[in-house]
Chains A and B, each alone.
Chain A
Amino acid sequence: MRAAAIILAKELRLEFRTRELLTATVIFALVVVVLFSFAFDPTAAESRRYGPGLLWIAFLFAGSLMLNPSFAREQNNETLDALRMAPISNFAILLGKILANFIFMSLAEVILVPVFAVLYNLSLAGIVGRLILVLVLGTLGLTVTGTVFSAISAHARMRELLLPLLLLPLLTPLLIAAVESTASLFAEQPALDRTWLAFLAGFDIVFLTASWLLCDHLLEE
């Protein structure tokens, strides 16, 4: 656990030196959100129908790009080998990176969600707490699978293209559950859909367990 915290601190220090990943992610998601405003007419009723889907598509696309450097940047100077030599478990390395990506993605969402609500005339009043719960569960699923797949695609050619190809089909159940539970919050009568929330939690648990079981094979040399 302490080892994972150290890896997390390293990732955060690396990122906040330049903040380039975070900036690029936020801008990319904004571009997607703006492009969607041309794909359909963003009136209040339409926004309520398409808004949640649009928001999550933007997050998923941004995430599939943002997660790529997580392991890919360890390739340049073979620093992953150095990490592996440290007397810590492979899962600590993976967990540290998952947590770091979770924090980056959450920070991006903290900026994006209010902007999105303003641009698409959606009211966040009274649903912030429940929306955060949905965002946390959805983002956790995205970062767990995304970090694992980042470790996979780091060894491949064309890794920037490969990661979305591996990740996005796998995330379809997460997308459905996240969109449905967000939509239940943006409805006329906001009421959190518990089935979908439980589904999101289940998704997180399944893939977190799988990453824990498989991380030795993922990071082996």
Chain B
Amino acid sequence: MKARFAITALVALLIFCAGYAALFIAPDEATMHAVQRIFYFHVASWNAMFCAFFVACYASVAYLVTGKRKWDALGVSGVEVGVMCCTIGLITGPLWARPVWGIWWTWDAKLTSTFILWLLFIAYLLLRGLVEDPEKKASLSAVFAIFASLDIPLVYLANRLWRTQHPQPVIAGGPGSGLDPTMSKVLLFCLFAVFCVMILVLVDRYRLELLRNEATELRYEIESRGLDASNGQETPALQKGAQ
């Protein structure tokens, strides 16, 4: 418990420092000025999102191979945290685009693909909410997650062939591209800080899912014994725990 508190405090300090670095240490950008500073968190949230969805995809495959419930718990945690990071990215993007591009949104390959990615994983969460049987829920949502992961490259390729406007990669985008050294240091620090936040939330969500599974199993067990639950002393406490 103490260790968890310490880690949480450490990550909070880290993200606070990242915010300070992005706002005050990073040099001013020549054309975009202060608006550009959102970039440190925009890129960092995408980075965290990809890691989270990768965890979710890996866990889905692992669940189908091994059939162990902990992989399912990790899968749903990865998707939820990934959707959270994706939402942050989808909000910070238009905030930056409005002053720089003059528009909030454009149907460009990267933006569209991300939007579809977000919709697909929201659908995954909806699916989990609508299936009652825990075994079915786990295997069906894992199948869906794998289908969705297979779809993402296709979505990106289709949109790429069709139209694109997003800025080309700055860091490794060929000659003439590249970041100011201080900027790239701040960016790396922000990437790391947001990644740590993502991992922290992911681990907590994973623990919560395991506890939930355990609670559901216990409830089933009580129900299957039937008679004990109706006149046993455990019942009130159990109902309290279930809510």
The residues of A with any CB-CB pair to B shorter than 8 Å are: 145, 148-149, 152-153, 155-159, 162, 165-166, 169-170, 172-173, 176-177, 180, 195-196, 199, 202-203, 206-207, 210, 214, 217-218, 220
Contact = CB atoms under 8 A, between A and B. Distances in A.
Interface of B: 64, 116, 119-120, 123, 126-127, 130-133, 136, 139-140, 142-144, 146-148, 150-151, 154-155, 157-159, 161-162
Nearest to B112: A172
* Closest A-B pairs by Cβ, 7 of them: A156-B130, A173-B158, A173-B154, A169-B119, A176-B158, A152-B140, A157-B130
Given A165-B126, A166-B144, A210-B147, A173 B155 contact: yes
Contact of A166 (B123, B133, B142, B155): B123
Contact of B64 (A162, A196, A202, A217): A217
Contacts of B126: 162, 165
Contact of A169 (B123, B133, B150, B159): B123
A199 B123 contact: no
A152 B123 contact: no
B116 A172 contact: yes
A169 B114 CA distance: 11
Given A155-B136, A214-B64, A172 B143 contact: no
Contacts of B119: 169
B156 to A, nearest CB: 9
B110 to A, nearest CB: 14
Contacts of B161: 195-196, 199
Given A169-B120, A176-B158, A214-B64, 6 more contacts: A145-B147, A148-B143, A149-B144, A206-B150, A217-B139, A218-B143
B127 A152 contact: yes
A218 B126 CA distance: 18
Given A156-B131, A207-B150, A210-B150, A169 B116 contact: yes
If over half of A's interface residues share one DSSP class (helix, strand or loop), that class is named, otherwise mixed; here it is: helix
Given A162-B127, A170-B148, A195-B161, A155 B120 contact: no
Contacts of A149: 144, 147
B154 A206 contact: yes
Contacts of A172: 116, 155, 158
Contacts of B148: 170
A173 B151 contact: yes
Residue among B120, B131, B133, B142 having the largest count of chain A Cβ atoms under 10 Å = B131
A155 B150 contact: no
20 contacts: A145-B147, A152-B144, A156-B127, A156-B131, A157-B130, A159-B130, A169-B116, A170-B120, A172-B158, A173-B157, A176-B159, A176-B162, A177-B158, A199-B161, A203-B154, A206-B154, A207-B150, A210-B146, A214-B147, A217-B64
A142 B148 CA distance: 15
Contacts of A218: 139-140, 143
A42 B60 CA distance: 47
Given A156-B127, A156-B131, A217 B154 contact: no
Nearest to A158: B130
Contacts of A177: 158
Nearest to B137: A155
A180 B139 CA distance: 35
Nearest to A162: B130
A152 B150 CA distance: 17
Nearest to B119: A169
Contact of B131 (A155, A170, A176, A203): A155
Contacts of B139: 217-218, 220
Contacts of B127: 152-153, 156, 162, 166
A217 B136 CA distance: 9
